[in-house]
Amino acid sequence: MEPMTLRAVGLCAGIPTQKGEIRAVNDVSIDVPAGSIVGIVGESGCGKSMTARAIMGLMRSPARMTGGEIWLNGRDIARLPERQRRALRGSEMSMIFQEPMTSLNPVMKVGRQVAEAVRLHANVSRQEADRRAVEMFEAVGISDAASRARCYPHQLSGGLRQRVMIAMAMVCRPKLLIADEPTTALDVTVEAQILRLMRNLCDAGTSILLISHNLGVIAQLCDYVYVMYAGRIVEQAGVIKLFDHPAHPYTRGLLNAVSSLRRGGERLDTINGVVPNLLRLPEGCSFSLRCDACEARCAQEMPELREIAPGHKARCHLAEREAWS
């Protein structure tokens, strides 16, 4: 069995409301093997970011983790006291958030912010922390690193701010990096640079969990992919298998929308309807209200996540019968 940097088992997270609990993450299990890049893809609101925050222990109140196990390098961290779990963040696991301008302190120079991350986890002087920050800026491709370290966030471009976030996440050399939409709002040239940097980090020994709605990014970087819909995993497979033989109607809908753009068609292929209200999910398959192939059983019975081929699972009653794999 290959070593796992991260293994999340039966992860559940919710948001209590006056009308009931919103199950934003519902029995989600994810493996990130050592030295690999694993993707989670799905529409906005499907639970991708909530899954990442649950793994990191960074749930925003009133959201809370309600069940499951989180194993990091063979250690169950979900039940650790918050003080011990906080010590793991930055040293053994780190996260890149969607928008660096809202994640960086606007009144602190970026080099000092990265240096503070060093001092939080290592007993070093301020001068040594500053030196490591500049070294990390150079490692992530920030030119004139010493000068840029003295800049405030608003003085840097979006691509440079994203590199600062990556430097902050990687300065203590964690084994796991969670990247939540790391190329959002970046132009294609900067996006390519950031993706190349992430591949280099993986080659250097960092395992990466990549959260994205961009199937092009997923196809370019990932070794294995999980597809989420309405808080659940609906399909998972190796990246080539998923793109060549999608088994779930939702996955095929996502891929068709991308392929219609590639064909230069006049009309974008879309998935009918919208993501259901998580307080009022259908009795059966969560995708049944939007699925053209829906049958009576689909609307009445929630399908299990079943293996339809080695390493390929789908949560669909029709996946095996239709031989999508």
Which of 173, 199, 217 delimits the end of a domain? 173
Which of 173, 205, 229 delimits the end of a domain? 173
The angle at the Cα of 279, spanning 70 to 302, to the nearest 5 degrees, equals: 70
CATH code for the domain of 17: 3.40.50.300
Domain count, the chain: 2
- Are 122 and 67 found together in one domain? no
Q: Which residue carries 């992860």 as its tokens?
A: 11
Mean pLDDT taken over the chain: 90
Per-residue pLDDT averaged across 301-325, rounded?
A: 83
Give the CA distances from residue 232 to residues 46, 111, 112, in Å, rounded to whole numbers and listed in that order: 8, 39, 40
What amino acid occupies position 235? E
Q: Which residue carries 């990014």 as its tokens?
A: 217
- Are 37 and 128 found together in one domain? no
- Are 232 and 291 found together in one domain? yes
pLDDT at 320: 66
Find the helix packing angle between 126-139 and 158-170, rounded to 10°: 120
Structural domain for 129, as ranges? 100-173
Q: What is the pTM for the complete model shown?
A: 0.91
- Are 224 and 262 found together in one domain? yes
pLDDT at 265: 54
Round to whole Å and give the CA distance between 61 and 72.
Answer: 24
- Are 241 and 310 found together in one domain? yes
- Asked, for residue 323, whether it belongs to a domain, the answer is no
- Asked, for residue 165, whether it belongs to a domain, the answer is yes
- Asked, for residue 19, whether it belongs to a domain, the answer is yes
Whether 154 contacts 106, CB under 8 Å: yes
- Asked, for residue 146, whether it belongs to a domain, the answer is yes
pLDDT at 261: 53
List pLDDT tens digits, range 22-74.
999 999 999 999 999 999 999 888 999 999 999 999 998 899 999 999 999 99
The DSSP annotation for 21-79 comes to: EEEEEEEEEEEEETT-EEEEE--TTSSHHHHHHHHHT-PPTT-EEEEEEEEETTEE-TT
- Are 186 and 243 found together in one domain? yes
ω into 246 cis (within 30 of 0) = no
3-class DSSP state of 12: strand
Which of 131, 154, 173 delimits the end of a domain? 173
A 10 A CB-CB count for 72 gives 23
- Are 56 and 116 found together in one domain? no
Among the ranges given (213-217, 236-240, 257-261), the one the predictor scored with the smallest mean pLDDT: 257-261
- Are 215 and 303 found together in one domain? yes
- Asked, for residue 319, whether it belongs to a domain, the answer is no
Residue 323 pLDDT grade (very low, low, confident, very high; cuts 50, 70, 90): very low
